[in-house]
Amino acid sequence: MKKEYTKHVEKVCKKRNKGITLIALVITIIVLLILVGVTIASITGDNGLLKRAQEAIEETNQSQYDEQYALQSILDEFNYASPSEESYNGDKEVNSPKVTKGMIPIKWNENNWEVCSENDEEWYNYINGDKLWANVMLSDGKYKSGEVEEGTIVKEKDLGSMYVWIPRYAYKMPEDASKGQKGTIAVTFLKGNTNTDKDGKTYQKATAEVNTEATAIVHPAFTIGSKELTGIWVAKFEMSGKNGDEKAVGNATKEGDNGEYNPTKPDNTTIAKSLPNVPSWRNISVGESEYQSMAIAGQNKEKFGIDYCSSHLIRNSEWGAIAYLCYSDYGNAPKINACGSNNGSWWYDVYTGQGPKLETGEGPYGFDATTIENYGYSTENGMLASTTGNITGIYDMNGGAYEVVAAYLDNVNENLDAGGKSTSHNEVKYFEGGKLKSEYSSLWECYEVSQEEKNNQINVDGGSEVLTQKELWDKNGVNFKDAETNKKYNVARKRLTDTTFDLLAKVKGIGVNEVVTNHSYYGVTTNGSYKWLMDTEDAKEQFAKTWDDDGILIGHTFRTFINRGGSCGDWSLSGVLYFSFLSSPDIHCLRGFRSVLVV
C-alpha cells in the first residue's frame, strides 16, 4: 500500500513538474516579448535611446557653444578692462559689426533686402562718402538665422526686426557750435573698444569741464557701466507691435486716444518689433518702454531667435551718438517723418519710416492707401527721412512720434515712481521713492537739478511763499489776471529751468548746450495762458532752437523724463537734436520708443 502511494505521489509530481515547466516557458516568452518591446521603445520612442542620443549630441554641442560663449564673456570682460583692437576692420577703417546668434546680415540690392554674409564687401561702408550703415534683421520674421541661405531675397512682409550698427567713435564740435553756428561734427572711428584711432592717436573720455569745440572726446554712448563697447545696434524704426488679435498696439484711432493696447493687462503675445510701414507703438509709459525693450533679449529672446546679447530702451547718450553721426561726413540730417492724422484732439495712424510731405516738405499728412507708395521708407521721398539719406540709415528720429529715452532728472518726485514702472507687469519697478533702483543704474542716465528742486521746496520770490515742484506749474495762468503775479511765478519757473539747462552743460554728446545757447521754459503769457517762453518781462510765446531749428524746451521740470525727436505735428521744432521733458508720466502720452541691442 505504501509502495503504491509512493508511486502515485511521484507520478503527480512529474505531471506538476511538466506543468510548471510549460507555464514558466510561456511566462518567459511573454517577459521576453515585453522586454523586446520595451527595448525597441527605449531605442526608437519619443524618449528613446536614439532620440536621447541625438539630444545628448545636441546638448554636448550646445554645452560646447555655451562654454565657448562663457569663455568669450570672460574674455570680453577682460577686454573691457584691458582695451582691445580686435573688432577693428583696417580696410574699412571702422569696427566690424558685432553679430550674435539670431542676427541675419542683410544688404539692399536696389529693390529688396538680400541676405548676405558678414564678409560681404557690400554689407557696409561708413567711410569714402558711401554712408552705407550695416543692417541686420532678427529671426522673428520668415527667415531664421543659420537656416536661410545667402542671396535670399527678403520681401517686406517677411522681414524680421531691423537694427543698424553704430560703431565706436570720437567727436569734436565745430567752432562756435554752442552759439548756434551750424557746421560739420568731426567724427573719428576708434579701434575696438579702445580710445585710439587708426593713426595711433588717443582721445580722452568726456568730462564736465572739457570744451568739445576745442578738444575731441570719445562719445559717452559707447560706455555702459564699466564696459567699453565697440558699437551698438539701434532699432531702425520706432517700435511697433501687434496683440493677440493682430491689431496694432498703441495706435490711437479717430475715436479714441488710448490705442488698441491695454498696458494694464499683460499680453504675452505682444513683442516690440522694429519694422517699416506700420503704426508706431505709442500710448505707453516710460517704464513699460524699458520693460518691452529689455524683454527683446530677455524673456522674449526665443521669439526673436537671439541669444548672448542684452537689450534696453535707448539712452539719451545713444540717441545723441546717432544725432551727432548725422552731422558728420558719415551721415545725413534726416527730414521729418510727417505721417500722422489728427482728429482735433490727438494724433493717430503715425506710421514708421515715412518721409516728408511731398508738396512743401513741411507739415503733417494723414495716412491713406497711397501713403506708403508715396512716402514709404524705400521710396526716394522716404529715404530723405533716413540718417544716411539712403535706405541703410535709421528712421523716425525726426518726427513720427515723440520718443522717450532712458534718462531722467534727479528731482526725487512722484512722477519717477509713477512713470518709471511696467504697466503690464506691476511687479517690475525701475524707481522707488523717487530714486532709480541700483540694478538698473547702467541703463538709465541721471541729470542733476538745483538743490531747491531736489528738496521739492521752491522759494518763489525770496520771501515766505514756498511751493512744491508740482504746485509751481499747477498755478494756472487763467486764474491770475495780474501781470505782476504771472511774472513772479514765471521768474521762479525760469530760474529752475535755467539751472537745469546749465547743469546739462556738464553732459556731453546729447545735443544740449553743445548746439544751442538758450532754451524755452513753460510759463504764463501776459494774457494768462500757458505757452513756451524765453523771458519774463515780455511773456510771449518763443521757441529756443538749435543750429538746425530743432526745439530745446526745458519746462515742467517736475515732469522728469525726456523726449527726443519731436512729432509729425510739430514739424517746425522736430529734429534729431530736439530735446524736451515729458509733459505727462502716464500711459496716455502718445510717445513712442526704440530699443538698443548690445552684443
pLDDT tens digit string along 58-98? 444 444 444 444 445 544 555 556 789 999 999 999 999 99
Cross-strand pairs, 231: 167
Distance CA 113, CA 96 (A): 20
Q: Could you tell me the end-to-end alpha-carbon distance of the chain, in angstroms, rounded to an integer?
A: 100
Number of residues assigned to the chain: 599
C-alpha 177/C-alpha 184 separation (Å) is 9
pLDDT over 70 percentage in the chain: 83
Close Cβ partners of 541 (under 8 Å, ≥ 6 residues apart): 525, 531, 532, 533
Spatial contact of 184 and 191, defined as CB atoms under 8 Å apart:
no
What's the CA gap between 102 and 144, in Å, rounded?
7
How many angstroms separate the Cα of 152 from the Cα of each of 77, 135, 143, 531? 36, 15, 9, 53
Looking at residue 8, its pLDDT comes to 43
pLDDT band, residue 261 (cuts 50/70/90): low
Residue 44 φ/ψ, nearest 5 degrees:
-110, -10
In this predicted structure, what is the pLDDT of residue 553?
93
Find, among 207, 206, 203, 196, the residue nearest to 230 by Cα. 196
Most confident of 2-16, 46-60, 100-114, 263-277: 100-114
Please provide residue 169's backbone torsions phi and psi, each rounded to the nearest 5 degrees. Answer: -150, 165
C-beta separation of 383 from 423 below 8 A: no
CA distance 320 to 385: 17
Which of residues 448 and 414 earns the better pLDDT score? 448
Which letter does DSSP use for residue 561 in this model? E
Confidence band of 14 (pLDDT split at 50, 70, 90): very low
Q: What is the 3-state secondary structure (H, E, C) of 97-144?
A: CCCCCCCEEEEECCCCEEECCCCCCCCCECCCCCCECCEEECCCCCCC
- Asked if the model's pLDDT at residue 21 lies above 80, the reply is no
Distance, in Å, from the CA atom of 171 to the CA atom of 174, rounded to the nearest integer, reads 10
Cα 546 to Cα 550: distance, rounded to the nearest angstrom: 5
Q: Are 278 and 367 in contact (CB under 8 A)?
A: no
Q: How far apart are CA 237 and CA 563, in angstroms?
A: 16
CA distance 493 to 480: 15
Long-range contacts formed by 222-229: CB under 8 A, 24+ apart: 222/168, 222/169, 222/193, 222/321, 224/442, 224/443, 224/598, 225/441, 225/442, 226/80, 226/81, 227/80, 227/442, 228/80, 228/83, 228/168, 228/193, 228/194, 229/168, 229/193, 229/598
Task: Tell me, letter by letter, the H, E, C secondary structure of 240-300.
Answer: ECECCCCCECCCCCCCCCCCCCCCCCCCCCCCCECCCCCECCCCCCHHHHHHHHHHHCCCC
The per-residue pLDDT for 567 is 93
Q: What is the mean pLDDT of residues 502-511?
A: 95
DSSP-derived 3-state class of residue 183? coil
Query: What helix, strand, coil percent values describe the chain, rounded to 5?
Result: 30, 20, 55
Higher pLDDT, 531 or 584: 531
Question: What is the average pLDDT across 97-109?
Answer: 97
> CB-based contacts of 533: which residues, under 8 Å, 6+ apart?
490, 494, 520, 521, 522, 523, 525, 539, 540, 541, 542
Work out the pLDDT band at 592, boundaries 50, 70, 90: very high
Question: Is 508 a residue whose pLDDT tops 50?
Answer: yes
| Res 74: pLDDT | 46
Domain boundaries, the chain: 400-598
More confident: 135 or 361 = 135
Cell (9 digits) for 166: 553704430
Contacts of residue 185, defined as CB under 8 A and 6 or more positions apart, other chains included, come to 171, 172, 173, 174, 177, 324, 325, 327, 328
pLDDT (tens digit per residue) in 556-591 = 777 889 999 999 988 889 999 999 987 665 545 578
Rounded mean pLDDT, 35-57: 56
Backbone φ and ψ for 294, nearest 5 degrees, come out as -70, -30
Residue 327 pLDDT exceeds 50: yes
- 405 - beta bridge partners? 562
Rounded to 5 degrees, what are φ and ψ at 498? -60, -45
Least confident among 157-161, 288-292, 508-512, 535-539: 535-539
Q: What percent of the chain has pLDDT over 90?
A: 64
